[in-house]
Amino acid sequence: MSPQTRSLFGLAGIIILAMSASLNEQVSSQGLGNILGGLGISHDPGTWFTTVYSAAEVVGMAMAPWLSVTFGMKRFVLIVALLTVLSSFPIPFIHNLTLLYGMRILQGVSGGCTIPLLMSIALKVLAPPIRLYGLAAYALTATCFPYLSTSLAGLWTDLVSWRFIFFQSIPLGAMAMALLNFGLTDTEPKLERLKERSFHLSTVLIIITMPAIVVLLAQGDRLDWFNSPLISVCALVAVVGLPLFVMNEIKRKEPFFRFSLLKRRNFLYSIVALQIFVMLSISSSAIPSQFLTAVAGYRPEQTYLVTAIIACLQLVFLPLMAIILNYEWVDSRIVSFLGLVCLISACCANSFVSAEWNRNQFYFWQAVQGLAGAMIVMPILMGATNAVMPQEGPYAAGMVNAPRAIMQVAGTWLVQLAFHWRGSLHSSRLTDWLGLHRYSLFQGNNPAWQHPAPLTPTGQTRTAGAVAALAKQLHHQVTVLVIEDLFMIIIMLAAFLLLWLLIVPVRAYPPRIALASPPPGPVTTPNTSDK
């Protein structure tokens, strides 16, 4: 078997490992209520169950590419795969909070390492003619796995057992380790890089600063922001630590992040666009799920049809985009433009959501958003990878993925913030409306049986649960109005990304042209965007 064929087995292994890690995060978030109930954990400690994972994930994403070069790619990837399995299996049997958080931190670090390693290995083993298909595999982590997680959450929590949320990583991890061990060739470690003095400072700043940013976003609303000493300290650490980290990285010879890459227009565009795209992706995953859960009363088992169909469509859309972008005459900027138009159109349609909607109303527009996601993310990844040389891959992988992990938390924060501020506003206005029209709550002796009022003419409740039903309807209307606001916020973010697309990037050619021979026209090298 040729080395090129064996390396494809290694790529398949890292894809499976990335899927296992992503599903660990996504499915555990979807089934958090069942997990907390099974472990006997209350709400407030339960919020830290996801926060510590996200904080550790950012650290793993920031450091994984550099560590893979330092310790050797094959050796480091196998360690990450083993840690993914070993940190997941014991969690369903742990009832001590300290130990539980410790295992979630290990799980987060291993999960965070897998995504940038997938990008690094794909760029390393795939020749330019087929590189776009490797990028399509990487794009699955942003477009397919979030949809697939809802289906698996419904399968495990409602049909099998919530413990399988963590057990699912065992067969996937074992398969990944076998493929990685067979397909990857080990590289010589460069342990002398550990002796660099500035490396220790950057490591400390990453471990302190990036989790502080995650805690600030994830716990700020619950702890009332700067009225909490913890949030105030996290904000101070972030404000002081982030500039220090950037300055230290600029001076290093072998940094975690090479900020000079941002001078290249296509790479700068891709970094910003990918972070905004992660925020936009909540319109097709978190927001519909929130509606179906809070208003329609669906369980994950009932919402899986919507998400499973979209996940399957991604397996068609992403390779299709890879084929289309491989044509020399196709301008990736136009593909991104059309994708953003589709996304804005779907969000405009979904903004007309009402309390009568169910999953049937989401099918078509979710499919449109799935197509839009593939049309947006593939040109972003092509522009980013074409703008860097092969030896710069580890620096690019860290810069792409660490902010992405933070933006995933920021997306959750955006939803929480909207429900807190806009939800309070809508609740107050609807309550005031009920007060102004309080007499409509009373019904005469000859009511319309289709819509009976909750109170009788004497002021008594018509039925035992009439007032509770009225409060539930009020809550549903508040949720619907907040979700409408969220779709409008997504539209504004998409409009900003559309403006960014029109200003910053230059023409990017397919990798088989850009990385193999000088492309036609004014762009002659991948680094022309530096100018």
Condensed to tens digits (0 to 9), the pLDDT of residues 66-123 reads 888 888 888 899 999 999 888 888 888 888 888 989 999 999 999 888 888 888 888 7
Stronger pLDDT, 483 or 157, i.e. the higher one = 483
Query: What's the confidence (pLDDT) of residue 528?
Result: 43
Query: What's the confidence (pLDDT) of residue 229?
Result: 92
Query: What's the confidence (pLDDT) of residue 209?
Result: 93
Range among 16-25, 150-159, 493-502 rated most confident: 493-502
Per-residue pLDDT for 231 more than 90?
Answer: yes
Per-residue pLDDT for 450 more than 70?
Answer: no
Query: What's the confidence (pLDDT) of residue 251?
Result: 86
Query: What's the confidence (pLDDT) of residue 438?
Result: 65
Condensed to tens digits (0 to 9), the pLDDT of residues 474-491 reads 888 888 899 999 999 999
Per-residue pLDDT for 427 more than 90?
Answer: no
In the structure, what pLDDT confidence band is assigned to residue 252 with cuts at 50, 70 and 90?
A: confident
Distances from the Cα of 300 to the Cα of 202, 294, 416, angstroms: 41, 12, 20
Per-residue pLDDT for 187 more than 70?
Answer: yes
In the structure, what pLDDT confidence band is assigned to residue 527 with cuts at 50, 70 and 90?
A: very low
| Full DSSP string of 118-148 | HHHHHHHHS-GGGHHHHHHHHHHHHHTHHHH
Q: What is the token pair recorded at 139?
A: 């794009």
User: What is the Cα–Cα distance from 158 to 155, expressed in whole angstroms?
Assistant: 6
Condensed to tens digits (0 to 9), the pLDDT of residues 396-411 reads 888 888 888 888 888 8
Per-residue pLDDT for 246 more than 80?
Answer: yes
In the structure, what pLDDT confidence band is assigned to residue 441 with cuts at 50, 70 and 90?
A: low
Indicate if the alpha-carbon torsion angle 179, 185, 186, 190 is positive or negative.
Answer: negative
Asked if residues 393 and 120 have their Cβ atoms less than 8 Å apart, the reply is yes
Q: Which residues of 44-75 are buried (b: 16+ CB within 10 A; e: fewer)?
A: eebbbbbbbbbbbbbbbbbbbbbbbbbbbbbe
Percent of the chain at pLDDT exceeding 70: 90
Per-residue pLDDT for 518 more than 80?
Answer: no
Condensed to tens digits (0 to 9), the pLDDT of residues 277-287 reads 888 887 777 78
